[in-house]
Amino acid sequence: MGLHAGYQNEVYLQGLGDQLPPFTTDATKLEAVAEEAMEPGPFGYVAGGAGSGDTMRANRDAFARWRIVPRMLCDATTRDTSVTVLGTSMPAPILLAPIGVQSIVHPDGELATARAASALGVPMVLSTASSYALEDVAEANGDGPRWFQLYWPNEDAVCVSLLERAKAAGYTALVVTLDTWTLAWRPRDLDQAYLPFLRGIGVANAFSDPAFLAGLEKSPAEDQGMAVLRWVSLFTGTDKSWDRLSFLRSHWDGPIVLKGIQHVVDARRAADAGMDGIVVSNHGGRQVDGAIGSLEVLPEIAAAVGDQVSVLFDSGVRTGADVFKALALGASAVLVGRPYVYGLALGGEAGVRHAVRSLLADFDLTLGLAGARCPDDLGLGSVRLSA
Ligand SMILES: Cc1cc2nc3c(=O)[nH]c(=O)nc-3n(C[C@H](O)[C@H](O)[C@H](O)COP(=O)(O)O)c2cc1C
Ligand SMILES: O=C(O)C(=O)c1ccccc1
């Protein structure tokens, strides 16, 4: 048996003692379940996408078009889902995507996520816009694997300071997000006039950063509004260029991954720039409304650069079958976003654990039932485009 499939037995056995799982094991229903429990502002912020939601739908539609073609009599009873990506070994090719401002859904926010991730050995990618300082999240994460997501500040001193702090706190890889240099038109948030930062959430890394604080005339305690504006303006704009990646390289000695790649030419540029990895992602459909479904571009990007850089994938991963399909189409691992945030909203640390264990078990079982023993067994022959 695979390690994670054991959660299936655990759930059924607990049923003998009349105990049900804390909430649904169906990640495609999680959003509806979470909506009942969440405040409208935070729920809309998490669930929403750019514009009409077209790209969010495209992300899911792209998964539905690919079908798994199972194989039989493969002796897939004993399975090993573990992989090593960019020097980080993980129990399955699944990481927790960087999600900012998690305290809007649960007071423990990223601390709870960090504890759940560490208990499972699943890597978390901490957002620059976290609600707790990166050092506090690292402490909650303990020995767990962790990467840091960078929203690349316009001031080099602040950038270097964040990188040094992340390194010192044990984050081993840097994920540089390129697709969110300003927030898209998001009607769901606009209609409620709801934006977390303006309410002073997601600024913990700024307000604990000496280089950031050095640029303020008044402390955040004296003038929170000015401090928030400075933080927001640091991440707004596109003055960076491909040749500036060498700056990050010179201040970060671990792997660097570019997140938000959708065009094969950009994937090649990332490889040419000496990056270690990319995340094929459209930010969960939150940035360019009308953009192509992220899974649609994965095969061509993996074919173009898969032998030079680690190709990770996100946007729309919900089930074990989705993980399977992304790996078959060339990803070495996937990041999952909203599902674990709904888990956090519904049950704090235990909720994240349940949501992630459900995905791990579902993936492990799908892998075995389709006739594969490990992620490496998957390839283009494992799936087919349906009409
Ligand atoms: C509420 C929310 C906040 C997010 N914050 C960040 C962030 O701070 N940094 C980042 O790189 N991506 C952020 N993302 C994007 C995720 O990392 C990821 O790309 C996306 O959620 C994947 O799609 P999925 O939610 O369909 O799994 C955020 C996504 C959501 C839903
Ligand atoms: O909302 C987002 O998608 C996002 O990436 C973000 C950006 C800054 C702060 C918090 C989240």
Ligand 2 atom nearest residue 180's Cα: 5
**What is residue 197's predicted lDDT score, i.e. its pLDDT?**
85
Measured in Å, residue 312 CA sits from the centre of ligand 1 at 14
If you take atom 8 of ligand 2, which residue's CA is the nearest one? 129
> What pLDDT digit, counting tens, does each position of 89-100 carry?
999 999 999 999
| Residue 51, annotated as binding a ligand | no
| Confidence tier at 306 by pLDDT (50, 70, 90) | very high
In a domain, 73, yes or no: yes
Cα dihedral 363→126→263→271 (10° resolution): -100
| Confidence tier at 239 by pLDDT (50, 70, 90) | confident
Ligand 1 atom nearest residue 177's Cα: 11
In a domain, 378, yes or no: no
Residue 161, both tokens: 């300071």
| Residue 29, annotated as binding a ligand | no
| Residues whose beta carbon lies within 6 Å of some atom of ligand 2 | 100-101, 129, 180, 202, 283, 286
- Taking the CA of 313 as reference, the closest ligand is 1
Which amino acid type is present at position 12? Y
> Looking at residues 45-66, what average pLDDT do you find?
98
Name every residue whose Cβ is closer than 8 Å to that of residue 93 and which is 6 or more positions away in sequence: 81, 83, 85, 323, 327, 331, 332, 333, 334, 375
Measured in Å, residue 337 CA sits from the centre of ligand 1 at 6
- pTM: predicted TM-score of the whole model, two decimal places: 0.98
In a domain, 363, yes or no: yes
Residue linked to tokens 């960078």: 150
Domains of the chain: total: 1
Ligand 2 atom nearest residue 283's Cα: 3
> What pLDDT digit, counting tens, does each position of 98-140 carry?
999 999 999 999 999 999 999 999 999 999 999 999 999 999 9
> What pLDDT digit, counting tens, does each position of 11-37 carry?
999 999 999 999 999 999 999 999 999
In a domain, 386, yes or no: no
Ligand 1 atom nearest residue 284's Cα: 23
d(CA 149, CA 373): 32
If you take atom 28 of ligand 1, which residue's CA is the nearest one? 99
> What pLDDT digit, counting tens, does each position of 326-345 carry?
999 999 999 999 999 999 99
In a domain, 67, yes or no: yes
| Residue 292, annotated as binding a ligand | no
Which active-site residues does the annotation give? 283
Rg of the chain's alpha carbons, rounded to an integer? 20
**Among 171, 283, 341, residue to substitute to test ligand 1 (most atoms within 8 Å of Cβ):** 283
| Residue 316, annotated as binding a ligand | yes
335, 85 in Cβ contact below 8 A?
no
d(CA 378, CA 385): 15
**What is residue 1's predicted lDDT score, i.e. its pLDDT?**
64
313, 294 in Cβ contact below 8 A?
yes
In a domain, 307, yes or no: yes
Measured in Å, residue 344 CA sits from the centre of ligand 2 at 17
359 Cβ closer than 6 Å to some ligand 1 atom: no
| Residue 98, annotated as binding a ligand | yes
If you take atom 19 of ligand 1, which residue's CA is the nearest one? 283
In a domain, 364, yes or no: yes
> What pLDDT digit, counting tens, does each position of 188-222 carry?
999 999 999 888 899 999 999 999 999 999 999 99
**What is residue 56's predicted lDDT score, i.e. its pLDDT?**
98
127 Cβ closer than 6 Å to some ligand 1 atom: yes
In a domain, 375, yes or no: no
Q: Comparing C-alpha atoms, which of 78, 92, 73 is closest to residue 371?
A: 73
d(CA 136, CA 114): 10
If you take atom 10 of ligand 2, which residue's CA is the nearest one? 100
Q: What is the ipTM of this complex?
A: 0.99
25 Cβ closer than 6 Å to some ligand 1 atom: no
By residue range, what is the domain housing residue 156? 6-370
| Residue 100, annotated as binding a ligand | yes
- Taking the CA of 181 as reference, the closest ligand is 2
Task: Read off the CATH number of the domain in which 65 is found.
Answer: 3.20.20.70
**What is residue 3's predicted lDDT score, i.e. its pLDDT?**
82
